[in-house]
Amino acid sequence: MTKTFYITIFIAFLSYYSSTQEKIKASNALLESLINDNVVVGASGGFSIDGKTQWKSAVGYSNKNEKIDFNSGSRVRTASIAKSMTAVAIMQLVEKGLIDLNAPLDRYIPEFIQNGKTKITTKHLLSHTSGIGDYKNDREIENKINYQTLSEVYDVFKNRKLRFEPGTEFYYTSYGYVVLGMLIENISGLSYKDYMQQHIWDVLNMSNTGIEMVDTNEEKSRVIYHRDNRGKIKRAKINNLSNRTPAGGLYSTVDDLILFGNALLNNSLISAETFKLMTQHHSLEKINNGYGLGFYLYGKQPEEGSIIGHNGAQRGTSTQLFVVPSKNVVIVVVSNTSGAIKEVQTVAGNLINIALREE
């Protein structure tokens, strides 16, 4: 092996090392901006390329008063990223031939009330085109009731008038995903929690993901924050998420969400064909980002599915998951502070650019 060859390899290594270090430096600066600009109390982020985590970091505090650092293993509320997990669970059952996306829902849930001329289907629920409304008031948003079953939650809204005829408009609703949780239970014979644990979280070794239970010691000790319209951050009271579990009642970490994102790319949960179906434009939404089946389709041409994912915004959290299928890239940013979703999304979006930057 010639001396010239060794020199060429060494120069290539230095170039790669320098570029990698620049990516890390730029990514750290983006995440730190959330703290420096007083946007959140604690946050973590990471991105993977071809299934390997290339960068991961955390800033701020999980408990500011006690000076407990936030880290990449800090559990946060996923908020609506839960919808993507629930949608994947539904599509697993579709793949097994247990659910027909276009069949009337009362075929699988006999107690489900069909109020429209057009019967609501699983596809309507997944794409937010069912006509089912969302939270009626602040009491439902900041829920204090601990619902024991999804059927009890369904009782809250089952007799309400549909907003429109199923399949004719787009209206984003968490209650529609509560019904999808009921569907998972009826078809699988398992509780929503057990199904998700056995068929998604355990499969991917997502050991820090689960359902938030406000009566556990861990949840009682968790600190969450809220940033108001004036930019002032205060400690927030924990509301009860049992009225939206399949739609936004989970907790997770950056590490686990990266695992979930990569599972979509390597087809360890659903097939490539199913994933392609989920990332087509099904929602009728034409103004903002399109919506597939459990995923937002980001960009000017969302039907191409160039970037997919989901955000999450609820009391005590702001989260963003991006997946770029064509580049095998997964981006995750999470925080323990609500009222910061715009800034968290911006950081996550800029991380895409860094991750895709040529070495």
pLDDT digits (tens, 9 = 90+) for 279-315: 988 766 655 668 999 999 987 554 444 899 999 999 9
Question: How much is the average pLDDT of 162-182?
Answer: 96
Determine the pLDDT at residue 12: 37
pLDDT of residue 218: 62
Model confidence, pTM: 0.92
Query: Is residue 323 over pLDDT 80?
Result: yes
CB atoms within 10 A of CB 152: 13
Residue 32 vs residue 21, higher pLDDT: 32
Confidence class for position 220, pLDDT limits 50, 70, 90? low
Give the mean pLDDT of 226-243: 95
